[in-house]
Amino acid sequence: MSVLCFEGEEFTLPITNQKAIFEVPLSLEDGEYTMDVKFIDKDDDFLIKEKTFSVDHSSADIVNAMNARGKTGG
């Protein structure tokens, strides 16, 4: 199981084929955003990954830059 925290809300994400997919449920303004994902195994051990990304609407394409930093716990 994984739990994602974004913009003050928590979302439980199912993991399928070792992937958890999250689609942002709202339109994002230009800027930098951070989300935390907590992956929990069957023994309740967990790993937290923090992802930072940017949204830039100034061009025809939305530019996403991912910067991964993580911390472990459990």
Asked whether residue 37 is assigned to any structural domain, the reply reads yes
Asked whether residue 26 is assigned to any structural domain, the reply reads no
Give the pLDDT of the chain (74 residues) as one tens digit per residue: 789 888 888 988 888 888 888 887 778 898 999 989 888 888 999 999 998 988 887 765 544 444 444 444 44
Asked whether residue 69 is assigned to any structural domain, the reply reads yes
Q: What is the pLDDT of residue 68?
A: 41
Q: How many domains does the chain have?
A: 1
Burial 2-34 (b: 16+ CB within 10 A, else e): bbbebeeeeeebeeeeeebeeeeeeeeeeeeee
Asked whether residue 38 is assigned to any structural domain, the reply reads yes
Q: What is the pLDDT of residue 50?
A: 92
Asked whether residue 53 is assigned to any structural domain, the reply reads yes
Q: What is the pLDDT of residue 59?
A: 65
Asked whether residue 25 is assigned to any structural domain, the reply reads no
Q: Is 25 helix (H, G, I), strand (E, B) or coil?
A: coil
Measured CA to CA, the distance from residue 19 to residue 6 in angstroms comes to 18
Domain containing residue 49? 2-17+31-73
Q: What is the pLDDT of residue 69?
A: 43
